[in-house]
Structure 1
Amino acid sequence: MIEVKHLTKRFGAITALDDISFQVDSGSIFGLVGSNGAGKSTFLRTAAGVYRPDAGSVLIDGGEPFENLSVKGNVCFISDYPYFPRAATLTDMEDLFSHTYPHWDKERFHYLCSCFPLDTKQRILNMSKGMQRQAAILCALGARPTHLLLDEIFDGLDPVMRQLLKRILSGEVSDRGMTVVIASHNLRELEDICDHVGLFHRGGVIFDRELDSLKLGISRVQAMFRPMPDRSAFDSFDLVTLRTQGSLVDFVARGTQEDILAKLSAMNPVFSELLPLTLEEVFISEMEAAGYDIDNILS
């Protein structure tokens, strides 16, 4: 379990994480989404023990990771730009990790090497971006961590490798109860694999929620009215966004589908339909509500 309690991290005058609190349950796959510079990478580095918090704490199974080898031995972090020694091969990394991580599994590592099309004798820095990311994944999974922290892990992977990675991660969670946190802008990939998601913006957490309940708790409505009611008629909805054009209205609202449909029916629309949102549409709607949208950016 990862417990985040009033966590704050600053870099000079910049507050990257501002008094955030949430929890990642053991054996879950938690997706971190948010705007650029929202603090996702800073959080992962703090959870991995790379950064010391300025206030509050992040606990991995009850222990603080910073300068704590007993915690770090159970945590693997793959950054958005994985680091490898200049001349290192996968064979060299196997030797390094086997002496660093207490639960290193040689058989598991070699099995995974057989799944990914990598030459274990080739210098990793001579590999493509996607292959370097695969090498980092092999090393991390060979360490058998209880907690795996991934930053933009799908970047550079081809569709086959992305599916392979999702299948392996799901198996590790199912078989060993490993906890996975993935920060990514690839919301389509997160939607496939995550069971919980947290939305970061400007160093804060707008929400953290189970993915299914999040998508069921917010819907998009398209309707036609003749005549068009006043804008105040929509105040009964818990609106995230609302747009009107002539006799058409398009809005996103929170609440159960039954409640939204009942309120909509009472307004006697000529036509209406309710659409469940994808994770990307939820993200865009919530960010618009937070003032981060195309119109504001371009204005």
Structure 2
Amino acid sequence: MILIQNVTKSFEQFKALDNLDIHVNKGSIYGLVGTNGAGKTTIIKHLTGIIRQDAGQITVEGEAVFDNQKIKEKMGFIPDDLFFFSTYNLKEMSKFYKQLYPNWNEERYAHMVSQFKLDEQRKLARFSKGMQKQAAFILTMSTMPDYLILDEPIDGLDPIIRKLVWKYIVEDVAEKEMTVLVSSHNLRELEGICDSIGILSKGHMVMERDLDELKSDIHKIQVAYKERPENPYEGLNVLHQEARGTIDLLIIRNKKEDVEKVIEKNHPVVFDMLPLSLEEIFIYELGGVDSEIQGILF
């Protein structure tokens, strides 16, 4: 389990993380989302032991991460900004990784190189950005990590390679209970892969929920009445409401059965209720109700 509790970090006068909490269950895939500058990369650098927090605790398997070689040997990390030794090819880089990680799997490495069709003898500096991302993924997954930390892992990859990347990740989660934290702007892809989601804004957690539970509790509603009753949504947690002609458009956070009970008692002539996508939830939670956001939601 990954546990981040009350973590604060400032860089001079700028507070990058503000009393941040994150809980990632063992054997799960956790999606960390947020606007640019929300603090995603900063917390990832803390979690991987690159920098130390000013306050709070960061533990993996109950142990502090910073300066903990035993935990780091179990952790794979693919940053958004990749680094390789400029003169190394993929084969040479694999030998370097093998020296650092006791669980290195040579058989998996060879199989993945074949699947991704990369040239082991070509210098990594001459790879395209997408090929470098694939190389980093091959090297990291060949260490057989118990914990996988990914910062924009599919950025620059074509759809076929993205599918192959997620295939390896999902299989390792299922077969050896690997724990994954992934930060990405590709919300549609996260929606199909994650168990839990954390929405980060200005260094603090806006919302952290199981994805299925999150989507079942927030709904996009369209309602019309032959004769509109007074206070038709009383008792519901209406996050946003607007009228477009005779149609009421709403965002409501309640259980589906509670929403249906309140609205149907007034006998609407139109009643459509849909769960919001992760992208819509993200836009609503961080974008508020300005006109541009409304146009996207409805």
Q: TM-score w.r.t. structure 2 length?
A: 0.93
CA contact (8 A) 1:88 1:123 kept: yes
- Per-residue deviation, 1:268: 3.0
Q: Distance in 2 between matches of 1:207 and 1:184?
A: 16
- In the alignment, is residue 258 of structure 1 matched against residue 257 of structure 2? yes
The answer to whether the 8 A contact 1:48-1:72 is kept is: yes
- Aligned-partner residue type, residue 202 of structure 2: R
1:226 shift after superposition: 4.0
- Contact kept, 8 Å, 2:284 with 2:293, in 1: the verdict is no
The offset of 1:14, in angstroms, is 1.3
Q: Percent of counterpart pairs with the same letter?
A: 36
List runs of 5+ in structure 1 lacking aligned partners.
Answer: none
Q: Does 1:156 align with 2:156?
A: yes
Point out the more displaced range, 115-124 or 262-271: 262-271
Letter of the structure 2 residue corresponding to residue 203 of structure 1 = G
Deviation at 1:287, TM superposition (A): 1.8
- Rounded Cα–Cα distance in structure 1 between residues aligned with 2:154 and 2:180: 14
> 1:84 is matched with which residue?
84
Aligned counterparts of 1:293 and 1:42: Cα–Cα separation in 2:
31
How far off is 1:68 after superposition? 1.6
Preserved CA contact (<8 Å) 2:241 2:248: yes
Per-residue CA distance 1:158-212 (angstroms, 9 max, x = gap): 1111111111100011111110111001011111111111111111111211111
SS of the aligned residue for 1:121 comes to coil
CA–CA distance in structure 2, aligned partners of residues 227 and 82 of structure 1: 61
| Distance (Å, rounded) in 2 between the aligned partners of 1:198 and 1:183 | 10
Q: Secondary structure at the residue paired with 2:192?
A: helix
Partner of 1:185: 185
1:58-84: per-residue Cα shift (whole Å, max 9, x none)? 101112221221111111211111111
Q: How many residues align?
A: 294
What's the counterpart of residue 249 of structure 1? 248
Task: Write the distance in 2 (CA, Å) between the matches of 1:12 and 1:22.
Answer: 24
* Native 8 Å contact 1:240 1:252 kept in 2: yes
Name the structure 2 match of 1:272.
271
d(CA) in 2 for partners of 1:286, 1:191: 16
**Which stretch shows the higher mean deviation, 9-18 or 160-169?**
9-18
Aligned residue for 1:175, secondary structure, equals helix
Q: How far, CA to CA, are the matches of 1:94 and 1:146 in structure 2? A: 19
Distance 2:15 2:228 in 1: 45
RMSD across aligned C-alpha pairs, in angstroms? 1.8
**CA shift in 2, pair 1:172/1:292, >3 Å:** farther
User: Match for residue 118 of structure 1?
Assistant: 118
Match of 1:14 in 2: 14
Contact 1:238–1:254 (CA<8 Å) still a contact in 2? yes
| Correspondence for 2:127 | 127
Please state if 1:138 is matched with 2:138. yes
Instruction: Name the CA shift for 1:260/1:293 in 2 (closer, same or farther; >3 Å).
Output: same
Q: 1:295 to 1:31 in 2, by over 3 A?
A: closer
Deviation at 1:266, TM superposition (A): 2.4
With 139-148 and 60-69 compared, the bigger mean Cα shift is at 60-69
CA contact (8 A) 1:241 1:288 kept: no
Q: CA deviation at 1:269?
A: 2.1
Q: Equivalents in 2 of 1:234, 1:145: separation in Å? A: 50
Residues 129-157 of structure 1, C-alpha deviations (whole Å, 9 max, x = no match): 11111011011101111111000111111
Deviations 1:81-109 (A, max 9, x none): 11111122111110110111121111111
Q: Which residue of 2 aligns with 1:210?
A: 210
For residues 292 and 8 of structure 1, the distance between their equivalents in structure 2, rounded to whole angstroms, comes to: 30
Report the residue type matching 1:14 in the other structure. Answer: F
Q: Do the aligned partners of 2:283 and 2:293 also contact (CA within 8 Å) in 1?
A: no
- Alignment partner of 1:99: what SS? helix
What is the match of residue 25 of structure 1? Answer: 25
Q: Which amino acid aligns with 1:3?
A: L
| Cα deviation, residue 240, structure 1 | 2.3
